[in-house]
Amino acid sequence: MSQVQPRTRVTPPPHRPAAGTARPKGSGPMLAGAARRAWPALALYALVRTVGVLVVLPHTDRSVLQVLASRFDTTWYLLIAEEGYPATCPVQGELCRYAFFPLYPTLIRTVTALTPLSAQWAAWLIAVTASLAAAWGVYAVVERVAGRRAGIVSVVLWGLVPHAVVESMAYTEALFTAFSAWALYAVLTRRWITAGVLAVLAGLTRPPGAAVAATVALCALWALWSARRPAGPQEQRPDGPGPDGRGPRQVARLVTAVVLAPLGWLSWFGWVGYRAGRWDGYLRVQERWGTSFDGGRFTLHRVTQVFTQQTVFLDSVVIAATLTMAVVLLVVCHLQRLPAPLLIHATLIVLITVGCAGYFHSKARFLIPAFVLLIPLAKPLARARPAVVCTLLTGAALISNAYGIYLLTVSDHSP
> Residue 229: which pLDDT band, with cuts at 50, 70 and 90?
low
Q: Are residues 61 and 139 in the same domain?
A: yes
- Distance of alpha carbon 265 from its chain centroid, rounded? 16
- Over residues 161-191, the pLDDT tens digits come to 999 999 999 999 999 999 999 999 999 999 9
Distance CA 26, CA 125 (A): 35
Structural domain for 284, as ranges: 189-288
> Residue 367: which pLDDT band, with cuts at 50, 70 and 90?
very high
Give CA angle at 128 (46, 49), nearest 5°: 30
Q: Are residues 52 and 166 in the same domain?
A: yes
Q: Are residues 114 and 94 in the same domain?
A: yes
Give the list of residues 6+ apart from residue 403 with CB closer than 8 angstroms, or none: 162, 165, 314, 318
Contact 142, 378 (CB under 8 A): yes
Whether 178 is covered by a domain: the verdict is no
Distance CA 77, CA 105 (A): 5
Is the model's pLDDT at 376 over the cut of 90?
Answer: yes
**pLDDT value at residue 170:** 96
**pLDDT value at residue 61:** 87
Distance CA 181, CA 216 (A): 12
Q: Are residues 272 and 311 in the same domain?
A: no
Nearest residue to 200 via CA among 142, 292, 267, 154 = 267
* Mean per-residue pLDDT, 337-356: 97
Whether 335 is covered by a domain: the verdict is yes
Q: Are residues 101 and 157 in the same domain?
A: yes
Whether 184 is covered by a domain: the verdict is no
Q: Are residues 45 and 167 in the same domain?
A: yes
Q: Are residues 50 and 113 in the same domain?
A: yes
Please count the structural domains in the chain.
Answer: 3
Distance CA 249, CA 247 (A): 5
Whether 8 is covered by a domain: the verdict is no
Return the higher-pLDDT residue of 397 and 26: 397
Whether 128 is covered by a domain: the verdict is yes
- Domain stop point among 268, 288, 308: 288
Q: Are residues 141 and 197 in the same domain?
A: no
Is the model's pLDDT at 355 over the cut of 80?
Answer: yes
Distance CA 59, CA 406 (A): 10
- Over residues 60-110, the pLDDT tens digits come to 888 888 999 988 899 999 999 999 998 888 888 889 999 999 999 999 999
Q: Are residues 48 and 163 in the same domain?
A: yes
Distance CA 405, CA 415 (A): 11
* Mean per-residue pLDDT, 369-377: 97
**pLDDT value at residue 28:** 45
Q: Are residues 208 and 282 in the same domain?
A: yes
Contact 62, 156 (CB under 8 A): no
> Residue 226: which pLDDT band, with cuts at 50, 70 and 90?
confident
Contact 139, 148 (CB under 8 A): no
- Domain stop point among 288, 303, 332: 288
Q: Are residues 256 and 300 in the same domain?
A: no
Whether 17 is covered by a domain: the verdict is no
In one letter, which amino acid is 191?
R
Share the mean pLDDT of the chain: 89
Query: What proportion of the chain, given as a percentage, has pLDDT over 90?
Result: 76
Is the model's pLDDT at 235 over the cut of 50?
Answer: no
Q: Are residues 90 and 201 in the same domain?
A: no
Whether 252 is covered by a domain: the verdict is yes
Whether 282 is covered by a domain: the verdict is yes
**pLDDT value at residue 11:** 41
Is the model's pLDDT at 137 over the cut of 60?
Answer: yes
